[in-house]
Amino acid sequence: MPDSLRQTLLSIRDLLATVGPFVLLALALLVPAYYVLDPTPPKKVVLATGAEQGAYHAFGKRYQAILKTYGVQVELRNTQGAAENLALLRDPSSEVQIAFVQGGADELPQDTDADEDEPSLVSLGSMFFEPVWLFYREDAAQRLLKSDTLTRISQLGGWKLNIGAPGSGVPNLMKKLLEANHMEPTQITLLEQPQTPAVMALLGAESDALVFASAPEAQMVQMLLQTPGVKLFDFAQAEAYSRRFPFMSPVTLPRGVVDLAGNLPPQDVRLVAPTATLVAREDTHPALIQLFVQAAQQVHGGAGWFQRKGEFPTALNTERPLANEAQRFFQSGVPLLQRYLPFWLANLVDRMWPVLVTIVAVLLPLSRMLPPLYQFRIRSRVFRWYEQLRQIEGAIGRKPSTELLAELDALDGKVGQITVPLAYTDELYALRSYIDLVRTRLNGAETANAAPTPVGARSATHTPT
């Protein structure tokens, strides 16, 4: 091995041996903190949507595609609607963690105490308007009202009204509207069919009207708005409904927005619209909530029939407490680190920074010990031979010089194999100089012992008998 490469490898070895314990200490502090804080989101989340032909399911597929780019698999759970979604969120045995929920769909008042085992729910914000679409047959209005136009909900007495399947949010919502109009459920024949059978029943004259709440992107809404003989109820009292029910907003379906060429609808139609929200369990991973809120901006942030660009998502009109991560997003937008770093790294630093600051505060004073420790390790490689050299020097005159010279040569051979960084070669050369100095003394002593004793000296020291 070339000397330069050998010296480089030895220097790296010394550096690792010095820094290694410091790194191990940092890992010993960091790894437990990582598992306790659990900064990375789970790789799978279950999102409850709604009927397969509904807007909830269509939006859910868009969330699924966006979160897939972050390595998160979104499993869509089809349901009858908002009420069933809420039931799944509240069921501790359910896998559903996040769901679309329509405003006013909850059977329980918001101030009702939850069961001890029931997960607490938080809102991720309002996502879009979900107008109440009350479609009715013109011939039914002629038969029951002697007019082709339904003007008030209180006129529905005697009608066959389909309010959607149990589990959707519409039955609870519609019961509140009927109660506000002083109507008893017995005054109306209420049908509870899923959306597709309900539409087929309306078109087949098996029912007089149907009502559902959905975003205008829903296929059934698009179809019924363009079906001859089917009219959309105009909520002339939309403003009054919004004052009575805080979760509702008055919205207007503009003239011609469905079909400009066909001028559909032929005039503005006033509607009432609960806001659809994303609701999550309170223990949902914060990083998942952050991802969903960011995805919501992409999915619902554009212009639509009832909102302008950037109007949604919003923290307004939420019936439940806003999740901390959602509130953070609405206040300051995408976290700063995520604007410049990959999500996984930005999220890791964002969740771990309090621990990282604490670890740095602990290790920073200790790091000052690293240069002296490194210096001590290198110098000890040289200094440890001085003890043997001192023993050899101290034995001069007490041991035969030839024996000491042999030990000194062996020591010199070992020192010759020492490799140190260039910054410490002066200490290695100093050790070799001292070895040569001791060798000189030994050679001088050996010469003195080998010289013949003068005759006069022997006579002077001889004592006669």
What predicted TM-score, i.e. pTM, was given to this entire model? 0.66
The Cα–Cα gap between 80 and 277 comes to 16
427 within some domain = yes
Residue 411 included in any domain = yes
Q: Is residue 435 part of a domain?
A: yes
**Does the pLDDT at position 460 exceed 50?**
no
Cβ atoms of residues 189 and 160 within 8 Å: yes
What does the CA dihedral 250, 251, 253, 257 come to, rounded to 10 degrees? 170
Mean pLDDT within 266-290: 92
Asked whether residue 66 is domain-assigned, the answer is: no
Percent pLDDT > 70 in the chain is 87
Residue 205 half-sphere exposure, CB side, CA atoms within 13 Å?
6
Q: How confident is the model over 235-260, as pLDDT tens digits?
A: 999 999 999 888 889 999 999 988 88
CA–CA gap between residue 432 and residue 288 (Å, rounded): 66
pLDDT in tens, 361-374: 777 777 777 777 77
Structural domain range at position 409:
371-450
Q: What domain count does the chain have? A: 1
Rounded Cα distance, 412 and 72, in Å: 66
Whether 378 maps to a domain, the answer reads yes
What pLDDT does residue 317 have?
77
Type of residue found at 62:
R
Residue with tokens 């003007």: 151
Does residue 380 lie within any of the structural domains? yes
3-class secondary-structure state, position 263: coil
pLDDT bucket at 399, cuts 50 / 70 / 90 = confident
Q: Specify the pairing of strand 269-281 against strand 96-102.
A: antiparallel
H-only helix segments in 50-169? 55-68, 82-90, 138-145
In terms of phi and psi (left: phi > 0; alpha: psi -120 to 50; beta: otherwise), the region of 263 is left
Report if residue 445 sits inside a domain.
yes
Asked if the structure places residue 318 within a domain, the reply is no
pLDDT range class, residue 357, cuts 50, 70, 90: confident
Work out the pLDDT band at 450, boundaries 50, 70, 90.
low
Query: Is the pLDDT confidence value at 352 over 90?
Result: no
